[in-house]
Amino acid sequence: MKLLLRGARVVSGDSPQPVDADVLVEDGIIRAVGPGLPEAANDGARVLDMAGRLVMPAMFDAHVHFREPGFEAKEDIASGCAAAINGGVTGVVMMPNTKPALDSASVVRMVLDKAARVSPIKVFASGCITKGREGKEMAGIDGMRRLGVRMLTDDGDPVADPAVLFRAMQYGSEFGMFFASHCETPELAGPRAIHEGRVSYKLGIKGSPACSEEICMDRDIRLAHAVGAHVHIQHVSTALGAETIRMWKERGAKVTAEVAPHHLLFADEDIGDFDTALKMNPPLRTRADNEALLQALKDGVFDLIATDHAPHTPFEKAQDFVSAPNGITGLETALVSLHHHFIAKGVFGWDLLVNRYSTEPRRMMGLEPVPVEEGKAAEFIVFDPDKQTAFTTEFMRSKSRNTPFFGKTLKGQVEMVVLGDRILLERE
């Protein structure tokens, strides 16, 4: 494949403003990037007019639930990867809360083999910290490491026993593995349905207080700091949680953290009349938390943006608010929604998005970034900031529709996804 993109605006993590340039790709390699490439570059190439379009590194999501094995009615690896491509994502890390859980080399191998058969994008598996995610005994960590697992997590639940987590951190960190923490204090979390506050009182539902998350967060960072392990804090939802991470970073702890788009965009007051599309764990907090999380993202407290893509069937989400499962899909909506609500309004620039949703997630997983630069492998997307995306059944590739964006139209569109010598997505 030889592809020449004429008149594009190239986005990088080095500047909030795109740079005007042509991009030449041949045999999966970016051969040239610059304004006004010579006419000779047209020879044998498919030439596309990119006026008004942005060319940027493809995204990487370090927190997704593809539900396979065990819950394929919600999502499977093939449909999850199709959803990722639809949203401009070319690499993902699967969470291990499947059935059976990804707690041994045999289950991890099965998942990675399946991904190699059905997915054109890079799929990485995280491994459980404990057997069956039960929090009692360490999982088969070394066997999973030999298959390339770097992230260990019991995501969906915390490791309740600090002694078990401490020992696992001592063991896994010797092999260069790191630990991703779902922070929650079960004794405080209640039914895990909603933030404790004015809205929970109004709806008559027992809430989960912010301190349920914050107590566990501080505990897990303290344990990792004592061991010298790297701990990654998942889906931070509270203002004090962000400040806790800031404090530990200033103290020299090896801590990274992620924030999900929904915790930046929505608050508990948006739940309205028991809208289960806005039910997730950690729950939506307050507008003040939204603002604090956004500021922490801009300040660099959060290293990553990650969606926590968590599909569920319509039947499950049609239950009453307390009984309905927690989770929101995000792979297909993240890039467009962040553009619509933040970038298009000048809240932050493209450089922040590229760094937090492309470069840093890859670095955390031991991968090289994928800049749009001469000599680099082609792994980029074309984004049209002036077009619109309607999140309809026809558009979405995930098996599930549990997102508050379903039925909405937002500004911006992922127009093309290029990976190596393949065009994985191209819209007219």
Is the pLDDT reported for residue 41 higher than 90?
Answer: no
Angle at 133 between CA 146 and CA 234, to 5 degrees: 85
Residue pLDDT, tens place only, 186-243: 999 988 889 999 999 999 999 999 999 999 999 999 999 999 999 999 999 999 999 9
Distance CA 60, CA 93 (A): 8
Residue pLDDT, tens place only, 102-117: 999 999 999 999 999 9
> pLDDT band for position 183 (50/70/90)?
very high
At 231, list the tokens: 């701990």
SS3 333: coil
SS3 38: coil
Distance CA 4, CA 155 (A): 43
Residue 201, exposed/middle/buried by CB under 10 A (0-12, 13-18, 19+)? exposed
At 232, list the tokens: 């990654």
pLDDT for position 296 = 98
Total number of residues shown for the chain: 428
Active site residues: 308
- Report yes or no: 60 and 305 within 8 Å, Cβ to Cβ: no
- Report yes or no: 154 and 128 within 8 Å, Cβ to Cβ: yes
What's the CA dihedral at 78, 79, 83, 85 to 10 degrees?
Answer: 20
The DSSP bridge pattern shows strands 2-12 and 15-26 to be antiparallel
Non-local CB neighbours of 289 within 8 Å, separated by 6+ positions: 210, 237, 238, 239, 263, 267
Residue pLDDT, tens place only, 127-157: 999 999 999 999 999 999 999 999 999 999 9
**Across all residues in the chain, what is the average pLDDT?**
97
Give the CA distances from residue 312 to residues 177, 193, 390, 401, in Å, rounded to whole numbers and listed in that order. Answer: 30, 15, 20, 8
Distance CA 410, CA 53 (A): 17
Distance CA 68, CA 65 (A): 8
Question: Chain-centre distance of CA 46, in angstroms?
Answer: 33
> pLDDT band for position 93 (50/70/90)?
very high
Is the pLDDT reported for residue 40 higher than 90?
Answer: no
Percent of the chain with pLDDT over 70: 100
Question: Chain-centre distance of CA 127, in angstroms?
Answer: 17
- Residue 317, sorted as left (phi over 0), alpha (psi -120 to 50) or beta, turns out to be alpha
Distance CA 160, CA 34 (A): 54
Average pLDDT over residues 168-174: 97
Non-local CB neighbours of 17 within 8 Å, separated by 6+ positions: 349, 350
Non-local CB neighbours of 123 within 8 Å, separated by 6+ positions: 66, 77, 81, 91, 92, 94, 112, 115
Average pLDDT over residues 24-49: 95
Percent of the chain with pLDDT over 90: 97
* Sheet strands (E) in 231-344: 231-233, 255-259, 304-305
Average pLDDT over residues 12-34: 96
Residue pLDDT, tens place only, 374-420: 999 999 999 999 999 999 999 999 999 999 999 999 999 999 999 99
